[in-house]
Every structure is written in structure tokens, then in C-alpha cells.
Chain A
Amino acid sequence: MTALQWTLKEMKRNYLGYLFLAPFYILFLMFTIIPVVLSLFICFTHFNMLEPPKWIFLDNFIRLFLEDDIFLICVKNTLIFAIVTGPASYLLSFFVAWFINELPPKIRAVVTLVFYAPSIAGSVYMIWQTLFSSDAHGWVNGTLIKLGLIDTPIHFFKDPTYMMPLCIVVALWCSLGTAFLSFIAGLQTVDRSLYEAGAVDGVKNRWQELWYITLPVMKPQLMFGAIMAITGSFNFGGIVSALCGDPSTDYACHTITHHLGDYGGARMEIGYSSAIAMILFFMMVGANQLVQKMLAKVGQ
């Protein structure tokens, strides 16, 4: 019996299980797996959606790395975003979750809501637009003019000097999302008796408790949070577009996601944008590997 025959036989035997899985897998296959595989193919073609694709092999990638100056800016911006906001928001989520977890349950529920609110309420980051509006009557500009620090309004979201830092701040503000919730859940699943056991075994302070007991126990949540943080920080496009416009002045906040959208949407060059997507994909996979390796060291 070959492996294939064996597989088929086993599948037949467990057909009920497959039947139950089917609805999800069919959808997953159609809307996730096939598009990803397709884009692997499309990135080697010239394709404008309305006319059939043309095979051009590596031309897209050659152009991407050798001709496209803006792509390099994008990679730089994406990495800055990812490196600053990824770990920062991850640590922030964790520590805020940890602190909140120490609170009495009722207060905890309220505080959790307060911190989680920015990420539930969709485009709530637009409030930053109001705060930093370029209008002389905008909150920040108005205040600065009133204090006599400036004469003419600053275009916060049009001036490269301010754009990047502001976007990072907004990103961090919005980042207490799903990861944060999963951390709170994770912290609550830690068995109390482990701490007692730890105390008996010589855990001296809260840091040791955290490092040797809490963190190893909630590794699945940490992993989940990390993946969310990575995808989040690499995919950080919507907020920037909403605040700084798309494209942002001098491409100062242009990330790979923007570049991808620029070519895929405005210029209808799907082949090229698939190539960009591939790069982003591999960057994320790489970052994931790295994080997994780092997480494996937790508690050691």
C-alpha cells in the first residue's frame, strides 16, 4: 500500500470529519490559498486585469530592485515602522495587560474597555486629524499660535518632518488591539498554584515570577500576539493614508502596502504589485521566523 492509497483509505474511513471540515476548507482554499498561489504566478507577468496577462518572467523584480527608487523608500519606511511600532506595541500591549491584570475584576473590565476602545472604534484615529489639522483654527495649530510659538499654521500631515513621528504615535495609540485582549485572557489562565509552587522553589520577586512562570505558561498567546503585531506593523497603511494622504508628501510615509496599492489600484499594474506583495510576504515570513526563535528563549 503506497502512502497515497493509505491516505485515501484513511480519508474514506474518517469521511465524516472531512465533511465537517469541508465548508471551511473549501472557502479557505478558494479565497486564500488559490489567490496566494495565483499571485505567485502573476508576479512574473504583466497584467492589467482587463486584458490577459503577459509572461515577462523576472522583469518585474528587476525593475523593482534596480529602477524603482520609491520602492527603496518604501522598504526603508516599512522597516522603520515595523521595527519601532512592532516591538513597541507588543511590549506595550503586554505590560498594559499585565498591569491591568493586577486590578480588581470590576475595575479591570472598565480599564480594559478604555484601552481597547481605540481599536474597536474603526477609524477613531481620525481624531488626530482634527487635533493636528492644518487649519489655523485646528487644535494644535490654534494653541501654538495662541502661545505665540508659530505665526502660520504648520501642515503637520503634509510636512515630512512631522509625518513619520506622528504616524508612529498614532499607530502605537491604536495598537492595543487583539493582541492586548489575548494577553489579558492568557494572564488569567495562568494557574495560581504554579506561583505557589514557584515560591516554594525559590522565586524571589515578581520579575522572576513573570519570566519563569507567567510567560512560559502563556506562550501560545505570546505567539498569537507576536504574529498580530508583525502583520499589523507591516501592514500599517490605512492610518497613514487617512492622515497624510496617499501618497504622502515626498513619499515620506510611503510603505510597501502603499506602493502595492498605488500600482495595483491607481496604475492597474497587477503583475508589478503582485511582485511587491511577494516581497512583503517574504519579509513577514522572515520576521515571523525571527520572532518564533526569540519566543523560544522565553523562560530560559
Chain B
Amino acid sequence: MKNLKLTRPIALLMSGLMLTSTFSVINAADDTDETSNGKGASIVGSNIEDVIERMNALTYAEYQALYTDVPDATSAVIIDGTDYDPELTDADVRIETYEGREALFTPDDGSVVYSFDIPKDGMYMIELDYYPTTSKQTDVERQLYIDDKIPFRETGYLTLKQVWESDLSLAGDSKTGFQLDALDNDVRPNTVLAPVWQTYKAQDSTGYYTDPFLYYFSEGTHTLKLTASRCDIAFGEIRIQQPDDVKTYEEVLADYTAKGYKAVSSDATVKLQAEFPTAMSAKSIYPTYDKTSPISEPQHESRIRLNTIGKDTTWQYVGDWVEYKLTVEESGLYHIVTRHKQSVSVDMFVTRKLLINGELPFEEAKNLRFTYGDEFETRPLTDGKTEFQFYFEAGKEYTLRFEIGLGELADLINRIQISMANMNKALIKVKQITGDTPDEYRDYNFIGLIPNEMNLFLAEAKEIRAIANEMEEIVGYRGSQSTVFDDIADMCFEMGSDESTIAGHIGNLTSNIGTLGTWMNTVIVQPLEVDYISVQSVDEKIPAANANLLQTLIYEVKKFIASFFSDYSTFADEDYGDAKTVVVWMGSGRDQATIMRQMVNDMFSSQYGIPVDLKLVSGGALLPSVLAGQGPDISLDGVSMDWAIRSAIMKLDDFDTFDEVCSRFDESALVPLYLDIDSDKRGHYGIPVTQSFSVVFYRQDIFAELGVDLPQTWDEIKALLPLFNSKNYEFGVSASLKFHLYQKGGDWFADGGRRINWDNQLVLETFKDVCDLFTQYQCPTSYDGTNRFRTGEMPYMMSDYGIYTQLTMFATDIRGMWGMSTLPGYEITDENGNTYINNTGTTSSGGVGIMANAKNPEGAWDFIDWYTDADAQIRYGNEYATLLGSGTIYTPANLEAMLSMNWTNEELEVLMAQFNNLRATPMYPGDYIISRYESFAFDNVYNEGADPVEELLKNINAINREISRKRQEFGLDYLEIGETLAEREAKKAQESGEAGN
């Protein structure tokens, strides 16, 4: 691997760069370990050379270009999945039987390797049979290596879908086919895993390439390595075979005529209700209901009837599919007519790919178009030009799979993506010269410094224009995005041809690329709502798409009348006899309440036999209603010290199962809910629900480009900052004194919360260090982290780990170029003389508690017990993400729930490392006062250049006064200002001593 890389000139350049900058870093920081740099510096988890290799890996387009002369393969090599190479395989594999088929089970880490002989040079497609064994709720991800090398970048993210189905077991013989609630509404069925054997062709998971990947194999022995990055899976047969030979529709049609296929009679129509798929590929695809059209099937004026699939954004990500089984009674030619609506992706069409029994019936079936419109539409499947006919044989069972693809847009989107990446790279180069705020009137000598980038701007201008034109051709008209294309093209052209315009255009171009990126994100999602699929004769009239005036009128009038009799506000609850109700209030939003209601019905009330009165109440109403004695038993909106110390919420330590419940969390999650005072009120007042903490996000590409290691300590960061600043890169770091202090092993409070622990050398030094980061080293104090991270301005930032999903979902342009790492720390030498890095992070958690005047505390405790348990938290987290889109993340405090989320192993390692290294502060009376004085001190240092030590010392008395005053108010032991507990004890001892004398 090393040898080959060194032969590449680009790698040479890189390593040269690496060497020189490493050198300068070593000089800047004397304590940097030279040997570790020499050996090939590691960026936590992944080797810097790996990163560089990955950055330099070819794209599939480039890979294809290399092998245009190589003919397609004509034969296949079939490998049995169980026939792996035991020497090279490092994963803990075993042979299992699934549905009577032997397969190789591979866990969620490690690699499995197969060796095989290729008879003849050629381009091969890789197809494999798999059985989704995992119980995790995410897609399976594998990296594919050939001869231990990633042939092209996209093959590093092969996504294999799991199989799901609606659990209709609770429906019984309900008239709608779904379970009905007490008010006769359909209840959305759970989506459950329903694994069956699947066939997968190695292809691009982002959908930018619509055909399966073709890999080049020379004659001879090769290895195929599959490395796990997510979930376990079992492999059946692996086929390295010739590419599929898919006919065009014209050929298929000619074939139909030749065989004399005729249109079927009109009563051969088979109607598939879309809300009953036989299988789907993601948990987020589930039956939805449409209330807008009276002729959606089935429809009811006041009840909820699940009648569609894919409403809003529930079925929109590339690669996701739904499947239906079809059997017809008459052989012949059919139209497949869908009644559908695509009202989300404005002015664009969405694409579906139709696979019949796993195969494309003809080439055009991968470009099925569904155009934008406010209303439902009925149309035979079409690619925008031809309405397709299909031949089905009587009595035979067909599987129709509708899979999301990007169709004709795929290539364009891919090109835009590449273009954007190129421009971004060039912009980073430009910004390194000009800084954040370029001076239009200065001569930067761009031609001399970055001639390649100038040419690149010219090339991109041309490319963007070409893309814009093609886009217009495909879509049929100039959409809203054309102005952005034009602007970018014009700017790039000017920047490329006249260097004096570069500085002036940087800002605009950056924001335009941002707009383009956002637009791309809306285009690559492909939402579509389908009511039914009617497989009918080609001669049959297309059913009406929308209701006529009379139907609409009757429906609306019925709806209006029904609105007087239906109670839409209460969520129906079943009868649990005399059991006492638990009243739960939540203020977070209607969507969350709906999830909660459903969960309570399914999991809590039915199990515990306790009815729950769940109410959506705005946060401000809690205090007044508690005062009026009308409060709930439980409020899901947090626990505060003020309530705890004034006996408005209940101490939880005395419940029987308290310890058991607490064992579900990391200790650090419980601490913020612990009231630490020396009275009988000391104890836990809440059980954690969510927990947040920070980790480091960093841009591997930029660190690799500068050839530096990811800093592990603050000293290393300070050593790097001059280099980064000179390149106009920023570090986003925490200004929290508590955080830095904890890393240095200090304490926030002293004397059991009786005073703030600021008056000692350690704290004062720490505060000076913190201030230095922002004054001397000029780290920014306020910024939009996600954006700057994406543009590369801020290649290193500390941020809440929840931002992870946002980056994976929306920063697609930097996919695979960033990593997550544990926080930097201070080097500490303990009493035994061992040095280690203390990278403790601070954490906070949100909890749920029981009101002191709860009418049913036992029931409330049962509720909390259930709610904070892994099952409930996992389900809540999943539904939350499903409902609010995959960009959101729920950060549960429950360890099991946190671990079960969508992490790759590498990420999990980082998270766990940080998770085990968290520290929190308990609640003390008067603690709210500290943050303000801390920020006063910091602001004064930053604004006025005041002395950090002085500023901090100045505020100690004000804080201690408030703490003592509060403690006095609550009848607790308190200290006089300027006094410490030890001093007081000494004084007392002395006094009593004197008295004794």
C-alpha cells in the first residue's frame, strides 16, 4: 500500500507538505513527541495515511474512465458465502443457517475476506445474497476492498437495507385492516423487522450512479474484503458476474408484439392499496393518512383512516423501497396506474425505480417520474414520455418493488456535487491567502500564487453552465435554481479570468454555493405519497384522480357536521377500571405528545394497568397550577433546584426500585439532579431522560493537508494555533471555566457548596489560560459552528455530540472527510509521578420528577420507571427522529438506548471514551448566580483587556454572599463572607479551647 502510494506524485507532494509542517510544529512545541510523528502520525482511530489515501481515492467516474477500453465480463465467478479465507479474515464469523440456507454470519466489526480466481480480464458486477440478522434499526453498512484496496471512494459506503413490515397482529378482523382505538380511529401499526433473504448488487448508496458498480478484475487470483462499519449481517452466495443485460422498452415492446400479447379485459383490474405493502426497507416508512381528498381509499369524514403510504417526508431517501405482491387472473398487457401526490419537492419531479421480481423489466423502468402538484394524480407509470405497458401472466405471483432512485438527475447531481467540492477546495485556498475579510482593493497576486485554482474557476464556470442547460432540458423549464447556477457561473468566470475580482466575489460565491448545497439537499430527497396502485388493462380508462365538485361538497359538509360530535383533543384511552390515573404534562410539542400517547397506550397502560392522562401544557402554566393545587403528578419538562429545595417536587431516593432505575445511567447523568445540602432534603429529585456532552469534530482533510496530528492536549492546541491562524483556520473551543478547571482536577465549589472555589492558584491560572485562548490566540467566541465547519474555516470544533446527525445528513459535501474525537485535555501528573491526559468533559442532563402534591406517587414512579427504561427510550428516540426528520437526534441518558443508536463502531468508541470521562456538578442553593459573574469576568477581560485574575477575584464575594444568603434562607449552615469552613472550625476549636482554659 505504502509503495504504491509513494509512486503517486500527489502523495509525494502531500508527504512533503506533511514533513515540512510537522517540522514547524515540532519546533513550535518542544514537548511534541518526535518519534510518534516520524512513525506516521495517527489521527485518533484512523491513520493519517489512511485519511490521505481516502482523500485521494478515485471517484467512481474517474475509475470508470480508467477502464473504458476493458470489455464487460462474459462469465461469472460464484463464491459460497461460507467459503471465506480464514487466514485473512479478522472478524469473529460463524456459519449459521437462515431459512434453511447456510450463510456466514459477520458481526458489526472486523473484515471478512474471500479469495477467488478470475478467468478473464473484464468489468464485473458484484452481486450478493444476504440475510439481515441485526436487530438494530439502521441500514447495514460495509466497505468493499479489492486486493486490500478501496478501488474507488463510493465503494466504501455500501448500504444494505433491512426488511421491515407493518405488524398487523393487533388488527384482528377490524373492518379497516388496522387496529382501531376506542374512538374508531385507525392506529398506526408498529413497523417491525421481518428479515428474509435479499439480493444486493453493489451500487452507489447516494444514488448518484443509477447502475450497479462495475469493478475491474484482471485474470488471476484476487481477494474481496468486506469490512463492517455498521450492523451484523449474514452472507449467502457472492457472485462476481457479467453486468445485467437490460433491454430497452422498445425491445421489450417489440417482443410483446412478436409474441402476440394482447390487452386484457377490463375486469382483470387488480387494485393494490398502497398502505398495505408486503415489505419495506426502513422503519420510517409506514401507513399514513390523507384527509384532503374525499376519494382517497378508504376515507372517513371524522375518523382517521390510514389510506396512503409515504405522506410528507416518510418515504424519501435514496435506496428505500416498498414492495407489493401481485397476482393477476388474466395473462396479457397491463398498465400500472398509481394514484399519487408529490407536493413537497417544488417544481421538480421525483423518481422511482420499478423492480419486478428483483429485476428491472426494461432500462427505462429506473426513471419513473412523478411530477410536482398540489393534488393527487393518476397516471400509468411513465418516464415522462412513454406510458409503459407490462406483461403479467395469470396465476403467477409477482413482486413489485418501488425503489427510490435519482433517475435522470443522478448524473447531474453528481456533477454538481463534484463541482461544489472543487469550488470549495479552491475557495479554501483563496481564503488562506485573503483571510476572513478579503480586501477588494489589494493586489494579492493570485495568478502567481494559485494559477491552478484560477483555471479551475474557469472550468467550473463552464461546467455549471452546462449543468444548468441540461437540467433545464430534463426538467422541462427553468426552475428556481437557475438563477443560482447563473450567478455561480458568472462569478466563477469573472474570478477565473480577472484576478482583481476574486477578493470581491469570495463572500458571494460562498453563500451561493451554500444555497446550491441546500437546494441539492431538497432535490436528493424524493418524497411521494401513494394511495393505491391499480394494475389494469391498457384499454381501461384511468381512474379519476380527484373528487368532483359534488363529492367534495358532500365530504366537506359531512366533515363540518362531524366536527361538532368528534372530540379531536383528547387522546382516547382504554378503560382500566378503578386504577388511579397518572396525570402527565408535557410542553414540548404536539408531535412529541402524539408519540408519547401512542407509546403509553402500547407499552405502559396495557402492561401496568395504570391509565395515563397525558396533557400538552405550555411550560409557564406549571407553576401557577401547582400553586393552585391543580398540578400534574409528573411534568416532563425538567427538574430545578428551586423546586426541589422548596419541597415542590418529591425526593425519589426512597422508592423501592430507585437503585435499579439509577443503574441505567452513567453516574454523571444523575449528579445534576442531586441536591447536595446537609439536611434531610439531600437526595435525587429527578431521573435523567436526556444527557448532553461535547466531543470534538475535526476535518481530516485539512489536518492531513497541513500534515498535523489531531491535538490531544491544550498545549498542543496552543502550539498549533499560530499555524492555523496563519492559514486563516479557526478553532472552536469552549470558554467554560468549569470545564477547564475539571480537566485540571479542580473543584467548582468548596466546603460542600458553601462557597465558590475560585480563590486559589489553580482556578486563577486556569481562568488565565481560558482567557488567553480568546485574547492572545484569537479563537472566535461566537460563530455558526456547523457552517464554518462545513466550509472548512473551522476545521476543529468542540460541540455537543448531537450535531453529529446534522453533519451526516446535511454536510454531504464533506462526507468522509471529518471525524469525531474525544475532547482535548491537560496533562496531569498524579502523585505516583505518572503523566496522563485528563480530558474530562462537563455534562448536563434533563430529568423528570414527581410533583410533591402528586395524587398518585406510586403510579407516577411506575411511569418514570417505564419511561426511563431502555425500551421506551429507544422507541421514543426512533420515533422522534422519524417524525422530525433524520437530521434531528435524541440524546438519551439511558446508556443502553444511547448505545443502540445509529453509530459506527469507530464513533461508538469515541463516544464511550468520552462518556466514561464526564463530570457533572450537583445542585447547590444559589448556584445560578455563578454563570453571570463568570461571564462578567470573561467579558471584561475580552473587552477591556482587564487582568483575568483580578476580574475573577473581584466577583468572589458577590457570589459567596448570594450563596450564603440563600443557604440562610433555607435554614442551612452558611459561612460568613471571606471565611472558610476550615477557618471557622479552627476558630471554634480555639474559642472552646480558650473557654476551657
Contacts and interface: CB of A to CB of B under 8 A. Distances in A.
Contacts of B966: 267
A145 B936 contact: no
B66 interface: no
A146 interface: yes
A161 B943 contact: yes
Nearest to B438: A146
B266 interface: no
Interface centre among B437, B647, B648, B940 (most CB of A within 10 A): B437
Interface stretch (B454-462, B780-788, B795-803, B821-829): B780-788
Nearest to A141: B437
A50 interface: yes
Given A159-B943, A247-B932, A49 B783 contact: no
Nearest to A247: B932
Nearest to B961: A67
Nearest to A135: B782
Contact of A250 (B436, B781, B940): B940
B928 A267 contact: yes
A189 B545 CA distance: 60
Nearest to A133: B782
Interface string B919-935: 00000000010001001
Given A158-B943, A249-B940, A268-B642, A134 B782 contact: yes
Contacts of B436: 136-137, 145
A49 B627 contact: yes
A10 interface: no
A152 interface: yes
B117 interface: no
Contact of B437 (A136, A159, A160): A136
B623 interface: yes
Nearest to B436: A136
B646 interface: yes
Contacts of B940: 249-250
Interface in B630-661: 642-643, 646-648
B939 A250 contact: yes
Contact of A152 (B648, B778, B784): B778
B244 interface: no
B773 to A, nearest CB: 13
Given A49-B623, A50-B648, A135-B780, A155 B437 contact: no
B942 interface: yes
Contacts of B969: 46
A249 B936 contact: yes
Interface centre among B439, B626, B781, B928 (most CB of A within 10 A): B781
Interface in B546-602: none
Interface in A221-260: 245, 247, 249-250
Nearest to B966: A267
A96 B666 CA distance: 63
A294 to B, nearest CB: 39
A135 B732 CA distance: 12
B942 A155 contact: yes
A277 B781 CA distance: 36
A267 B967 CA distance: 12
B936 A146 contact: no
Contact of B781 (A134, A145, A268): A134
A266 interface: yes
Given A134-B782, A152-B778, A155-B781, A268 B646 contact: yes
A136 B646 contact: no
A48 B646 contact: yes
A266 B436 CA distance: 40
A158 B437 contact: no
Contacts of B942: 155, 158
A142 interface: yes
B943 A50 contact: no
Interface in B643-684: 643, 646-648
A72 to B, nearest CB: 14
B104 to A, nearest CB: 53
Interface string A22-60: 000000000000000000000000101111000000000
A249 B939 contact: yes
A146 B441 CA distance: 11
Contacts of B943: 154-155, 158-161, 249
A48 B939 CA distance: 32
Contacts of A161: 943
Contacts of A268: 642, 646
A158 B939 contact: yes
Interface residues of B, number: 28
Contacts of B439: 146, 148
Contact of A249 (B778, B928, B935): B935
Contacts of A46: 969
A49 B943 CA distance: 39
B766 to A, nearest CB: 21
Nearest to B640: A268
Interface string A149-167: 0001111001111000000
A50 B647 contact: yes
B388 to A, nearest CB: 52
A254 to B, nearest CB: 10
B936 A51 contact: no
Interface string B408-438: 0000000000000000000000000000110
A266 B642 CA distance: 9
A137 B784 CA distance: 10
A161 B643 CA distance: 38
A266 B646 CA distance: 14
A50 B627 contact: yes
Interface in B931-972: 932, 935-936, 939-940, 942-944, 966, 969
Contacts of A245: 935
Interface in B183-241: none
Contact of B646 (A51, A137, A145, A154): A51
A161 B945 CA distance: 13
Contact of A51 (B437, B647, B928, B932): B647
Nearest to B627: A49
Nearest to B962: A267
A137 B785 CA distance: 12
Contacts of B936: 249-250
A137 B437 CA distance: 8
B722 to A, nearest CB: 15
B356 to A, nearest CB: 53
A152 B777 CA distance: 11
Nearest to B780: A136
Contacts of B781: 134, 155
A289 B64 CA distance: 87
A143 to B, nearest CB: 9
A246 B148 CA distance: 59
A197 B781 CA distance: 66
Nearest to A162: B943
A48 B971 CA distance: 14
A145 B780 CA distance: 14
Nearest to A251: B936
A180 to B, nearest CB: 31
Contacts of B939: 155, 158-159, 249-250
Contacts of B643: 50
Contacts of B623: 49
Interface in B873-915: none
A234 to B, nearest CB: 23
A46 B439 CA distance: 61
A266 B778 contact: no
18 contacts: A48-B646, A50-B643, A50-B648, A51-B646, A134-B781, A134-B782, A135-B782, A135-B783, A136-B436, A146-B437, A155-B782, A155-B942, A155-B943, A158-B935, A160-B943, A249-B935, A249-B940, A250-B936
8 closest residue pairs by CB, A with B: A159-B943, A50-B646, A249-B939, A134-B782, A158-B939, A50-B648, A145-B437, A146-B437
Given A48-B646, A268-B646, 10 more contacts: A50-B626, A50-B643, A50-B648, A134-B782, A135-B782, A136-B436, A136-B783, A137-B436, A137-B783, A154-B943
